[in-house]
Amino acid sequence: MGKSDLLLELYSNLGTTGALTFSSKTLVKKMLTHVDFKGAKLIIELGGGDGSITKGIVDKLDPETELLVFEISKSFCSTMEKLFPQPNVRIINDSAENIGKYIQGRKADYVLSSLPFSFIAPDVRKQILAQSKTALTHSGSFIQVCYSYMLKNLFKKYFGDVNTSFTLKNLPPAFVMVCK
């Protein structure tokens, strides 16, 4: 799938992608500064999209670390399966509310998300955040890219500590919220 096909998919499904463009390299870098890849056993990404964040993760991923990428768009999944054929990367065409089904009792060191929580139904949003919290190790972090500072209050309902940073070098400018 070419870049124009990816953009068509992005704009055709704004309610599920929640983005006007793909994540910039600056945003991905800012997000990943909060990840200690050394010694991580399991990392989960919610909303793989075109693979912008996935590529940033894979470039730093230890070969023994497993990456599970959840994406509900079948066409985005097909593209990512071709881009990331590594044996330790698993592209999952399913909703992030089903994390528990795939980790089978294991715990993740990080859950990185670009899900558009403003557009997700409240019951599904609640399930995704509860599953994410349960999936993390005691010292794990939930790291969210979002476009509204108001979402910080939502994340505080599930995580006691939420730190926020901001970057103008994305369209639109974005927040990175690190939740523990």
Spacing of C-alpha 154 from chain mean position: 17
Q: Where are the alpha helices (DSSP H) in the chain?
A: 3-12, 14-17, 25-32, 52-60, 74-83, 99-103, 122-135, 151-156
**Domain segments of the chain as ranges:** 3-179
Average pLDDT over residues 91-116: 97
Residues β-bridged to residue 41: none
Which tokens in the block code for residue 34?
């909060």
Average pLDDT over residues 116-136: 96
The Cα–Cα gap between 132 and 115 comes to 12
For residue 22, what pLDDT band results from cuts at 50, 70 and 90? confident
* Domain 3-179 superfamily per CATH: Vaccinia Virus protein VP39 (3.40.50.150)
Helix, coil or strand: residue 138 = strand
pLDDT for the residue numbered 57: 98
Q: Which residue has the higher pLDDT, 3 or 110?
A: 110
Which tokens in the block code for residue 27?
């945003």
pLDDT for the residue numbered 10: 44
Q: pLDDT tens-digit profile of 27-42?
A: 999 999 999 999 999 9
pLDDT for the residue numbered 1: 46
Residue with tokens 């999209």: 49
